[in-house]
Structure 1
Amino acid sequence: MTEALADQAAPRGGVAPATRRVMNLAHIVTQNARRFGQRPGFVWGDRQWKWAEIDAQVSALAAALAARGIGKGDRVLVHSKNCEAMFFSMFAAFRLGAVWVPTNFRLLPDEVAYLATASGAKAFLCHGDFPEHAAAVAVAEPAPAFTWRIGAGAFGEAEVGEMIARNASARVAIAAVEHDDPCWFFFTSGTTGRSKAAVLTHGQMGFVVTNHLCDLMPGTTEADASLVVAPLSHGAGVHQLVISARGAPTILLPSERFDVDEAYRLIARHRITNIFTVPTILKMLVEHPAVDTHDHSSLRYVIYAGAPMYREDQKAALAKLGKVIVQYFGLGEVTGNITVLPPALHDPEDGPNARIGTCGFERTGMQVQIQDDQGREVPAGEQGEICVVGPAVFAGYYDNPEANAKSFRDGWFRTGDLGHMDEQGFVYITGRASDMYISGGSNIYPREIEEKILTHPAIAEVAVVGVPDPVWGEIGIAVCVACSGAQASEAELAEFLSAKIARYKMPKRFLFWEALPKSGYGKVPKRLVKDELEARGELARMRGER
């Protein structure tokens, strides 16, 4: 018994825990190497890696990182397109007891440099296609101790594949970890748009893996197969970790470009049984002609999350794919574990039992409560903030006590989403406490964009709002007020902003008004901006242009 545990007070009627040790998530790969060594675990184009090979390469990469000084608790920042090295790097970091810190590869160099600083990264693994990102991270304060390149390129002190080859015979013991030891910094954002590192732990993620298998994909085995259609840095990475826990293979698209026809070819070729995606991508899969020309009968679970899905799109998906779609609601901080709407409850026809608009019921082992501003539970049907408690809730934000204080109340994690729960426990999201909007499954935070627009010398004020869009779910509209005597065009602002924010954050329209609507306190409520957009006929015009 450790000294810390020995000193811990026993709970009333129980005992202080004798241990907090849990399975290191890297053991998943070793388990698969033992049981399914000659079965494929990762497939990309014409190449495939069997579980025994993956285990060896993960150990080799862990050995290389250890030789360079990476150990328990050190953060390993990874900026990469989907590839085998990115997948292996996750388990290599886990194996050492280090922390995997993946980024969205669409971020700009200065954004990744900020993540390096915010995470305190000691190592940086960067795809060869991103030399500007490597340069930006190299001058960050503090900068990682070293940078290794993934794939071809001309930067970094070494290339990841070469380091794996050099350490091919090395076997690194899996580090002992406890429940609260960090394994993953999942970067999310608050209402200010400033990225925050949600700390995911080995114990928490062990529950998440079990919960996902229980609630999202019951009956999954090594005979299943999963197609990746999103970056492994976020939700897709969690999904593939879950799939790996069953020994099933992960199948990548040939490139980062989403090719619907190619996706269906891979579904037919590999008998894909499950996909994790967002409503925008699911809509593309359903509406593309390839859905009628390829065999997709192997699909059992098409899981969508990250944004609401229009009812008509749900019905179209059910008509084309059958009752295989699964919805869940969950933030990165809870790794998707808040609610689930399984295939059986996706009714293809409207009616009293269709439960239109719900995001499902509580996940196994999780408790959801709708609370008022004082943290009191509200009656069924009444709107409040969606709060959650349970083993899937993250440890907290790294080095951000202010955000932790705002996000937790009496042990409950406050999602910032508004909604209500019916008498049978089904949850309905009705709005967001913040001004964030979701476009194509990505969270967009207006303040970040507004701050960048305001650096343009001709702009005095700006308000960015999300408005409904049938393709992307929501799109951004930037309403600008020019400085006195200054002018700017929509094209000029778009070009100016393109070098400052990631493409998926770019507002779809820039409008120019004489003034922004303000409250009595001089603030600019986003609801007033939306009301003005409607009153001026801008939203109707945009609908007509589609």
Structure 2
Amino acid sequence: MLPALNLELPDYTFNGKDVPWLLAYRAEVSSDQVFLTWVPRDDAERTWTYAQFWDDVRKVAAGLSKRGIVKGDRLLVHCDNCPEMLITWYACSVLGAIAVTTNTRCVGDELTYFAEHSGAVAAVTMPHLFDELKANTAGLSWYAVIGEDWDELLQHDEMAQRRPADALLPAGIQYTSGTTARPKAVIHTHANVLWGARSAAENMAIKPSDRYLVNMPLFHTHAQGWNVWPMLWAGGRVILQPKFSASAFWDVSMRHGCTLTSLQPFGLKAIAKYEMPKHHYRTLFFGARSRDIEKLFGAQIYSAWGMTETITGGLRREMAIDIPDGAIGTPAPGYQIAVVDPVTGKHVEAREIGDLYVRGTRGVQLTAGYFNNKEANEKAFTEDGWFQTGDQVWFDEEGFYYFADRDKDVLRVGGENVSARQIEALLITQLGPVDLHSAAVIASPHDMLSEVPVVFVKLNDEANARRDEIEKKIHAICAKDLADFKRPRAVYFIDEMPTGLLDKIDKKALRLRAAQLAPAEGLPLP
């Protein structure tokens, strides 16, 4: 069972409302309007109106109920982008179950950890993911594979009925990479979902006529929380792709009249290589304001900063106000922001870099907490309710905020967060103290992905003669138990690790060395 949250619902938020309430509302008010258009690679497009989507959600909820899923159960949803993944997630919300979304690029022990840590009872997955998932999740009672199993879940004459609304009931668990060796399980309540939906819809001024091109992974908070949820709130249309495709971007955008999309820096570089047609975009979601990008697209940038734990943007651009290049924006309504000097603990002045703290109501503006992780909760939240983000920012004299840096043990590989400590812990455990003296994973610059992981390894004297053998073993260990984007692109053997205070490895020195060693075209996959 999930731990008691012991929260009082503030009177200004979502009394009497939950995720099924929003779906039912849209099915009634926007019944014939298209909510979801699925655009797979084979062009076999499908659409759901709001009424049809709500019907399918309740049918699948009934199917899950017949298989024994009840309120409070955790269901592993291990799927790439597809309509079935979305329908399953919302079907869980109808029953009061919790959808545990997991990164489909994860393998081996990572999958075992997700299933065991969350206490998941069963899983919904896809044919190409089933074998790896089943081989590493022996404790699950059943699997529903999209295809025949999905048809069985969906084909019910009856539909699950709505239960009494409980806004602070957990709706989802999202695993996120941080500085720890294991991903943390972020709890999202129904109130979190509604808060994210309403806030993002209002921040981006979304209208029912808008169409959001969604191609980021739905198992991450961005695609659901910043793309799908606000469209549900506003009554707009989601154009869903299996994944980002630079070659298909402009064709899909034009055919479906997309007006909004989210872009990562690597995605922007990729689509810029193709001829840009006249298009319909009015707003682009991008991390910071860039007049050059706005000019290129003829569209306004919605810039923001947020995390899985903050649900939506704690800092965001007010679209009616012009902001400088590189700025994120200003504090969003509902959040308190503090920028603190990490040495003195005092608030910084303008143009001074400090640690970013955010405060809001847990379970509404902020996650209810980390599931099954008392230590992480105590470390992340201060006694007076501030959430320590691990990021650093600064602000100018007009109060516009700029991103400065993040914890150096979190790498940003394309659109994925990678914990250096997770990789280091795996290597230390698997290689053992006989051969391995120490290992340090750091970021190496990469032209397309911004940065990729590499590992510096110091061996014990007796093992140095077997460097080639040990390098192959390192790659094999990582291939077995790490998602592909987490695997080190290079292994650099080093005679002495640079150290600083208290003999701690000096990763700054190693980052400089990695930048010197990286080829101009970027490191290939091992």
TM-score by length of 1: 0.84
Does the aligned pair in 1 maintain the 2:231–2:237 contact within 8 Å?
Answer: yes
Quickly say closer, same or farther: Cα 1:269–1:545, change in 2 above 3 A. closer
Distance 2:267 2:260 in 1: 14
Farther off after superposition, 118-127 or 21-30: 21-30
Could you tell me how far 1:345 is from its partner in structure 2? 6.5
Q: Which moved more, 1:361-370 or 1:430-439?
A: 430-439
Counterpart in the other structure of 1:473: 450
* Match of residue 464, structure 1, among 429, 441, 447: 441
Instruction: Provide the residue aligned with 2:339 in structure 1.
Output: 370
Tell me the amino acid that sits aligned with residue 236 of structure 1.
Answer: A
Cα deviation, 1:453-503, whole Å, max 9, x if unaligned, reads: 342475432211114434222222211223424333466643552222111
1:289 maps to which residue?
274
Note closer, same or farther for the CA distance 1:512–1:16 as it changes in structure 2 (3 Å cut).
Answer: closer
Match of 1:381 in 2: 351
Query: 1-side partners of 2:96 and 2:354: how far apart?
Result: 39
Where does 1:286-365 land on structure 2 (aligned, <5 Å)? 287-291=272-276, 294-296=277-279, 298-305=280-287, 314=290, 316-341=292-317, 355-365=324-334
Give SS of 1:474's match: strand
**1:129 CA drift (Å):** 1.1
**One-letter identity of the residue aligned with 2:245:** D
Cα pair 1:465 1:526 within 8 Å, conserved: yes
Counterpart CA distance in 1 for 2:13 and 2:441 is 50
Cα drift, residue 375 of structure 1: 5.1
State how far apart, in whole Å, the 1-side matches of 2:292 and 2:474 are: 37
Deviates more, 1:324-333 or 1:80-89: 324-333
Matched, 1:150 2:146: yes
Alignment of 1:95-494 (within 5 A): 95-139=94-138, 143-151=139-147, 159-165=149-155, 167=156, 169-215=157-203, 217-218=204-205, 220-234=206-220, 235-238=222-225, 239-253=227-241, 255-256=242-243, 258-285=244-271, 287-291=272-276, 294-296=277-279, 298-305=280-287, 314=290, 316-341=292-317, 355-373=324-342, 376-390=346-360, 391-409=364-382, 410-454=384-428, 455-456=430-431, 459-484=436-461, 485-489=464-468, 493-494=474-475
Query: Residues 392 and 282 (structure 1 numbering): CA distance in 2 closer, same or farther, change over 3 Å?
Result: farther
Higher RCO (Cα < 8 Å, 6 or more apart): 2
Q: Contact conserved, 1:459 with 1:482, CA < 8 A, in 2?
A: yes
Distance, in Å, in 1 between the alignment partners of 2:181 and 2:286 is 24
Q: Give the counterpart letter for 1:270 in structure 2.
A: H
* Distance of 1:138 and 1:525 partners within structure 2: 38
- CA separation of 1:17/1:442 partners in 2, compared to 1, >3 Å: closer, same or farther? closer
Please say which of residues 415-424 and 490-499 is displaced more in the overlay.
Answer: 490-499
Q: Is the 8 A contact 2:92 2:98 kept in 1?
A: yes
**CA offset at residue 527 of structure 1?**
1.8
Q: Which residue of 1 aligns with 2:491?
A: 510
Q: Give the counterpart letter for 1:41 in structure 2.
A: F
Structure 1, 57-66 or 37-46: larger mean CA deviation: 37-46
> Which deviates further from its counterpart, 375-384 or 400-409?
375-384
Change (3 A) 1:471 1:333: same
Q: Is the 8 A contact 1:416 1:434 kept in 2?
A: no
Give the SS at the match of 1:338. strand
> Residue 184 of structure 1 aligns to a residue in which SS?
strand
Shift of 1:430: 2.1
Q: What letter matches 1:262 in structure 2?
A: A
- Check whether the contact 1:260–1:290 (CA below 8 A) recurs between aligned residues: no
Matched letter for residue 459 of structure 2: A
Matched residue type, 1:504: F
| C-alpha separation in 1, matches of 2:408 and 2:216 | 25
1:528 to 509, 512, 516: 509
Matching residue of 1:349: none
Does the 8 Å CA contact 2:446/2:452 hold for their aligned counterparts? Answer: yes
Q: Whole-Å Cα distance in 2 between the matches of residues 17 and 364 of structure 1?
A: 16
Superposed displacement of residue 266, structure 1 = 1.1
Measured in 1, the distance between the counterparts of 2:274 and 2:59 equals 44
CA contact (8 A) 1:389 1:413 kept: yes
SS at match of 1:289: coil
1:487/1:179 Cα in 2 relative to 1: closer, same or farther (>3 Å)?
A: same
CA distance in 1, matches of 2:285, 2:460: 47
Q: For 1:379, what is the secondary structure of its paired residue? A: coil
Distance 1:500 1:171, change over 3 A: closer
8 Å CA contact 1:261–1:290 kept in 2: the answer is: no
TM-aligned CA deviation for residue 213 of structure 1? 1.0
Shift in Å, 1:241: 1.9
Who is 1:156 aligned against?
none
After superposition, the Cα gap between the structure-2 partners of 1:343 and 1:187, relative to the gap in structure 1 and judged at 3 Å, is: same
Gaps of 5+ in 1: 10-14, 153-158, 347-353
Per-residue deviation at 1:47?
1.6
- Aligned pair count reads 499
Aligned-partner Cα distance in 2 for 1:356–1:478: 35
Aligned mates of 1:443, 1:17 — CA distance in 2: 35
Alpha-carbon distance between aligned partners in 1 of 2:458 and 2:144, rounded to the nearest angstrom: 45
C-alpha contact (below 8 Å) 1:337/1:366 kept by paired residues: no
Distance 1:427 1:316, change over 3 A: closer
Deviation for aligned residue 1:188: 1.3
Assess, with a 3 A threshold, how the Cα gap between structure 1 residues 326 and 539 changes in structure 2: closer, same or farther: same
Closer, same or farther: CA 345–543 of 1 in aligned 2, 3 Å: farther
Residue 541 and residue 135 in structure 1: after superposition, are their counterparts in 2 closer, same or farther (change >3 A)?
Answer: closer
How big is the shift at 1:231?
0.8
Distance 1:23 1:456, change over 3 A: same
- Residues 123, 493 of structure 1: alpha-carbon distance in 2 compared, 3 angstrom cutoff: closer
CA contact (8 A) 1:24 1:176 kept: no
In structure 1, give the amino acid aligned to 2:347.
Answer: E
CA-to-aligned-CA distance 1:84-136 (integer Å, 9 cap, x gap): 11010111111112112111111114212211111111231111111233323
Residues 199, 230 of structure 2: 8 Å contact kept: no
Query: Is 1:29–2:23 an aligned residue pair?
Result: yes
Deviations 1:307-331 (A, max 9, x none): xx7x9xx454223202322221111
TM-score with structure 2 length normalisation? 0.87
User: d(CA) in 1 for partners of 2:134 and 2:173?
Assistant: 22
Give 5+ residue unaligned stretches, structure 2.
Answer: 40-44
CA distance in structure 2 between the aligned counterparts of 1:372 and 1:8, rounded to whole angstroms:
31
In structure 1, how many angstroms separate the alpha carbons of the residues matched to 2:74 and 2:452? 34
Instruction: Note if contact 1:420-1:428 (Cα within 8 Å) is conserved in structure 2.
Output: yes
Give the alignment's Cα RMSD to 1 decimal: 2.8
Q: Is the 8 A contact 1:74 1:122 kept in 2?
A: yes
CA contact (8 A) 1:224 1:249 kept: yes
CA contact (8 A) 1:466 1:476 kept: yes
